[in-house]
Amino acid sequence: MADAKVIPFGEGGGRRPRGRSAGRGGHERQPGADRPPLRPVPEPGQEPGFGGAAGADSAGGPGDGNHGSGGAGAPGGTQEPGDPAGRPGWEERLASGLAFLRRRVTGEYEVDDFGYDEELTEQVLMSLIRPVYEKYFRVEVKGVENIPAEGGALVVANHSGTLPLDGLMMQVAVHDHHPAGRHLRLLAADLVFMLPVVNELARKAGHTLACTEDAAELLGRGEVVGVMPEGFKGLGKPFGERYKLQRFGRGGFVSTALRTGVPIVPCSIVGAEEIYPMLGNAKTLARLLGIPYFPLTPTFPWLGPLGAVPLPTKWTIQFGAPIATDGHPPEAAEDPMLMFNLTDQVREQIQHTLYKLLVQRRSVFF
């Protein structure tokens, strides 16, 4: 199977490609050129992605941007070709699937130099994650319109849940609910890119290493970048400390936002803390395995692989009002006091929203 053409960033080829090597059949884009979307932003009643989400449409609840679960049209949610909802029939889906497979075999698709494969993400990866998002965690999204419709933006969120499912759910939330259909490029820890299979999938989904250089380049290109500054401290914190934000590092994300002049969008995620209640940490075993922590939950490792199934909690993801950074001069990125103040402002806004959402929540599971 041929590889895709690697599309470099920047003028004159940009940095050395991080993705797969160039192969035949790819199509190169000029840096900065506008690229038409692989699919239009779905209209209410349409299913995004390859084959659509199982039994769900993309229409949200009134006024809150929530992803709906009902379908208009034929009884039982099934739609025929040419129906008013506009969903593709099985013949169109089959033709689209065959065309997709042909492009994968011939290499007629594109990846950028971070390894991001937009077509695979749109038509396969999102369709695999979406049922978990819609049916299992039943994610409710608020304030997604606070992410700019164009240009760079840095989304900063709390991190929790033992396994980083919160990042994936946030990625689906932005992709499916933003009016402009924007894609979130997540910054991930180096451990992600050391794991076989996970490394390849993360690259293809648009994730990249959590470092200043990569973040600045993506933001400079007008991408929406997601970062979770708590890192493993937030992801692996005990259940007794749930929804209490850990330290936000040294404010590197604020420095990057100041240098690129993009707004910072705080994001608060409720529901992830309870999917794997971490009651203990086998530190000796974690050191032997070379991982930050080895979680002990009510079900793992006692039930074996079955213990790795997350609890079906009800999630809410809220994007707060953006914090502008373009009013500061470029040298402001070197001002430690300004970075500390902005970091604290972002952290306090996320923490306050978490408390507010927790008060409003009726139940962990409903």
Per-residue pLDDT tens over the stretch 169-208: 999 999 999 999 999 999 999 999 999 999 999 999 999 9
Cβ-based neighbours of 189, under 8 Å, separated by 6 or more: 210, 231, 232
Strands 280-281 and 295-296, sheet pairing: antiparallel
Residue 356 is which amino acid?
K
Q: Where are the domains of the chain?
A: 131-360
* pTM, entire model: 0.75
* Tokens describing residue 330: 């470029």
Structure tokens at 259: 């240098």
Helix spans in 57-197 (H): 90-106, 118-120, 126-131, 165-177
Residue 93: per-residue pLDDT? 80
Q: What is the mean pLDDT of residues 25-34?
A: 41
What tens digit of pLDDT does each residue of 194-248 get? 999 999 999 999 999 999 999 999 999 999 999 999 999 999 999 999 999 999 9
The dotted CATH code for 131-360 is: 3.40.1130
pLDDT tens digits for 303-323?
999 999 999 999 999 999 999
Contact 363, 278 (CB under 8 A): no
Cis, bond preceding 292 (omega within 30 deg of 0): no
